[in-house]
Amino acid sequence: MSYLILIRHGQSTWNLERRFTGWVDVDLTEKGKLEAKKSGDLIKDLKIEIDYYYSSLQLRAINTLKLVQESLNDKQNFTKAWQLNERHYGALTGLNKVEMIKKLGEEKVYQFRRSWDLRPDPLDKQSPFHPSNIDTYKNVQTENIPDTESLKDTFLRVTNYYNEEIKNNLIKGNVLISAHGNSIRALCKYLFRIDEIKISKLEVPTGNPLIIEIDDGQKIKSYKYLDKYRATDLLFF
């Protein structure tokens, strides 16, 4: 038996500003730092050892993981992978969600945010928000840098990485992943076999660890959010 812990990063500066963030590399707010520290404290209370740590390549997930490790007094190295990045929101990147609802309507913006295979228009490669113009991604091969993504696209890269790099380590020990709303949503779809309609309804709160108990046959035995007061009705699968 082993544990898989999934954490969406703490609140970021663009979460606070209600902007589509995607692959843009923004940091945590003070509230986000507190959420990350609390995540670490909740995990510490479990009294289990984390054997493998993973993060996306993005600062908000990396710094969340560092604060979790600080709470756990654990200084071991962790793996950073672009495959665990947030979904790329294409031309919506940087725009305010409230303003876009006023412009396009709530239903259209909801479709862009939550539909399975709808991609926003691609982001102009000359934009300062395009990953090719952000230092974080200078070592990522050009063919792996998207201009836009659907949740389906995100699902494919996240689950491929999970199966190739993470799954076998779950056989050997406990794994913690610090990532993003859509990369965690994609992984939950895969692990819990959620259909393409229901996945749109899955909410992933910031800074609230989801702990999944997995048996030796890689089957899920139990799961729960550690901060139960911020998890009401969030788990429906």
Query: Mind telling me the catalytic residues?
Result: 9, 86
Q: Please provide the DSSP assignment of 19-80 as one string.
A: B--TT----B-HHHHHHHHHHHHHHHHHT----EEEEESSHHHHHHHHHHHHHHT-----EE
The tokens for 163 are: 């199966």
Edge-to-edge order in the sheet of strand 2-8: 79-81, 52-56, 175-179, 2-8, 210-214, 220-225
Strands 52-56 and 2-8: unpaired
